[in-house]
Structures are given as C-alpha cells and as structure tokens.
Amino acid sequence: MALDMRSPIESGCPDGFQYMHPTMRRNYGLWKYHEHPRPGVLVHYAHSGEEIWTVKCATQRILDSFTLRTLCDIGDKYADGYIHFTIRSNVEYVVDTEEKVQPLIDAIEAAGFIVGGTANSIATLSHTQGWLHCDIPATDASGVVKSMMDELINEFKECNMPNRVHMSTSCCQINCGGSSDIAINIQHTKPPRIDHTQVGNVCERPSVVARCPVAAIRPAMVDGKPSLEVDEKKCICCGACFPPCPPMQINDAEHSKLAIWVGGNHSNARGKPTFQRLVAAGVPNNPPRWPEVTAIVKKILNTYKTDAKDWERMNDWIERIGWPQFFEKTGLPFTKYHIDNWRGARNSLNASTHIRF
C-alpha cells in the first residue's frame, strides 16, 4: 500500500528571485559594468542595454512596524515596488531609469532617512541584539552603534575613506558578531560570581562543565547543595558558562568592559580573509553615549583615512605599515592586555599582533 507521505515544510530562506526587480531578473549574470555617480547611488549597465539604478539609505536596524511601512510605501510609490535589505541593514531601492532617481531620493530624505553608504564610505554599523532581545548581553550594542553613528554620519553620506569600512558591535564575548574592519565587543575581566543557592535548581551541571573551553568548571557541593566551582586561575572570563546557567553571573557594571578590535575581513578578493585583532582593552562600558569608545574609534578612523593608500582596506593598511606603526600612528597604548597569556596561547601566539616565535 502506498504511503501518503507528508510533504516537507519548507522553512528555509525563500527564493530571492521573486523579490528582484524584473530588470535585474532579466539581466541576471549579464552585467557589463557599473558606475558610482554620487554617494548612495549606483548604476549597473547590462549587455542588453538595460540599466538599473540603486539608491541606498540607512536604517536604525531595529525597525518598528511604522518605519517598515514607511520604507515600503516609498518603495511602492517611487521605486517600482521593490525594496532590499543589505547585510548591514541598509535599504536599497532599485529603479530602471535615471529619471526616477531624484524623486526617490527626495522622498527618502523627506521621510528622514539618510542616503549614502556606497563605495568608500562607512557603512551602517551592524550590531547584535542587545538588551532588546537577548538574555545575556553585558552592554546595549545598538546603543553603542547609535552613539557612534551620530558622530560618523558624514562618513556614511560621503565617500572619503580609503576603502569601504565595515564596523560592528557585539554585546557578549561568545556568540554573535563577526569579522569587521573595526569591532567593538564586550570584554569580561572577572570570572563569574556563582549564586550557589540557585545552581542546583536552574542549571544542568554537566552541560555547564562541558561548556567551559578551558575546563575551569567542576561540580561541587556547597552548603550541602549541588553547585559548581570555578578554578579562577584557569578561567579566561569568556562568559560561555553564563547562558546555560544564569547563576554563573559574569555581567558586571564595573568589570564588563569594552574592547576594540580591528582588521577583520571575510573577503578573499585581493588577499586571504583575516581575523580581527585586539587594539584597545578595558574601555569603559559607559552608557548612554559610550564617549570613550567613540573617541578611540575616531582616532583609528582618522589615522586610517590620512595614512592608508587609496583602496587599501583596514587590514591591508595595517599589514603594510606593521603593528608597531599602527600603535605609534594611532597613539593607542600597547599594553600587557595585547599579549595573549592564556595557557593555550602557544598555538595562537603566532596569530597575535606582535609576538612571533
């Protein structure tokens, strides 16, 4: 008897072609060249003679439904009904003739959005979920982004950087985030404080033990109750034990700091992909405006802007001048925190900023 099999439920990413402008669909893979007539606008020419104009604008990333509707209405009215989100939460509208570009830009700007973010500009900063959605953040990554972007917005609107700059912030040390030209990440500086009254009730102890990358956690009995203990000499303050076991409290108003990393790049177009490296540690986690972070980031960006050659990405620039010159030119202090003193460091030292064995 033939079985009436249940068909699979497709829950993956939908086919992107259905959301593409018809001109893009018709010319898929058949583009000849593109131009960048002004910041925020790109034009692509196809072998068929058709063209597509792209206008990019920034969003605040976490969008309320009113803002989303406003953006979609602009797309319906001025951009042939199409709208795309980029990896850094910018919005791209596409139209098929140059005449539609200026009315579209006027509508975007009249609604309060900022056009820019193309070519050698600073793209909108990406950030992790922060206090809004996640259960383990030690800072509000989106707040750090807002404070910095307020000061860097001209670099989004204009194309004055040597090459594109991608920046990101991350509100814990272990999960989201990624490689960026400049990244601002949480850095815990103290081992977790354990609430022994709660561990037995809340945590599955073997999985917490298994979670520690340096085997610093052991099961223990405390005051007659099952709990955990941490070998603080081994602990690298990564915070990985906190998500599965909230009583391993690592977030701390004073000891959870921010760290700044530079030179990460996923691309392998001109060179190998690179990991980002730590350049500033123990920066105060100072809401609501995080002025210390912005000051350091601006220092790095200004040095990069004046010192890098045209089209050098941040990692290419540092590779050319070398790390000693990077610290000298930016004026950032090189401290003991830049030296990897983790006991497993022998394997990673050759990837650190300064030490070569």
Residue from 20, 214, 222, 345 binding ligand SF4 (CB under 6 A): 214
Residues 22-61 that bind ligand SF4 (CB under 6 A): none
Q: Is 247 in the site for ligand SF4 (CB under 6 A)?
A: no
Measured in whole angstroms, the distance separating CA 83 from the mean position of its chain's CA atoms is 22
HSE (CB half, 13 Å, CA atoms) of 57?
Answer: 22
Tokens coding 156: 């989004």
Residues 132-171 that bind ligand SF4 (CB under 6 A): 134, 136-137, 141, 170-171
Nearer to ligand SF4 by Cβ, of 41 and 176: the residue is 176
The H-assigned helical ranges of the chain are 22-26, 65-78, 101-110, 141-157, 196-202, 205-211, 291-307, 314-321, 323-330
Smallest separation, CB 218 to ligand SF4 (Å): 10
**Of 33-41, 42-50, 236-244, 284-292, which part binds ligand SF4 (CB under 6 A)?**
236-244
Q: Is 194 in the site for ligand SF4 (CB under 6 A)?
A: no
3-state secondary structure at position 55: strand
243 contacts 251 by C-beta, under 8 angstroms: no
Smallest separation, CB 184 to ligand SF4 (Å): 11
Tokens coding 251: 């977030």
Q: Is 125 in the site for ligand SF4 (CB under 6 A)?
A: no
3-state secondary structure at position 226: strand
Smallest separation, CB 347 to ligand SF4 (Å): 17
Give backbone dihedrals phi and psi of 279, rounded to 5 degrees, phi first.
-125, -20
Nearer to ligand SF4 by Cβ, of 226 and 243: the residue is 243
Helical packing angle, 291-307 and 314-321, nearest 10°? 70
Nearer to ligand SF4 by Cβ, of 115 and 250: the residue is 250
Nearer to ligand SF4 by Cβ, of 27 and 168: the residue is 168
Provide the b/e sequence for 174-206 (b: ≥16 CB within 10 Å).
bebbebbbbbbbbbbeebbebebebbeeebebe
C-alpha closest to that of 282 among 207, 224, 332: 332
185 contacts 261 by C-beta, under 8 angstroms: yes
CA distance 32 to 44: 8
Residue from 59, 89, 120, 129 binding ligand SF4 (CB under 6 A): 129
Binding-site string for ligand SF4 from residue 314 to residue 343, where x marks contact by CB under 6 A and - marks none? ------------------------------
Residue from 107, 165, 182, 217 binding ligand SF4 (CB under 6 A): 217
Q: Is 258 in the site for ligand SF4 (CB under 6 A)?
A: no
Residue pointed to by tokens 């990624």: 178
Total residues binding ligand SF4 (CB under 6 A): 29
Residue from 60, 70, 175, 189 binding ligand SF4 (CB under 6 A): 175
**Of 32-40, 233-241, 319-327, 328-336, which part binds ligand SF4 (CB under 6 A)?**
233-241
**Of 68-76, 99-107, 114-122, 172-180, which part binds ligand SF4 (CB under 6 A)?**
172-180
Residue from 148, 216, 278, 279 binding ligand SF4 (CB under 6 A): 216
CA distance 237 to 226: 23
Contacts to ligand SF4 by CB under 6 A: 128-130, 134, 136-137, 141, 170-172, 175-177, 191-192, 211-212, 214, 216-217, 230, 235-241, 250
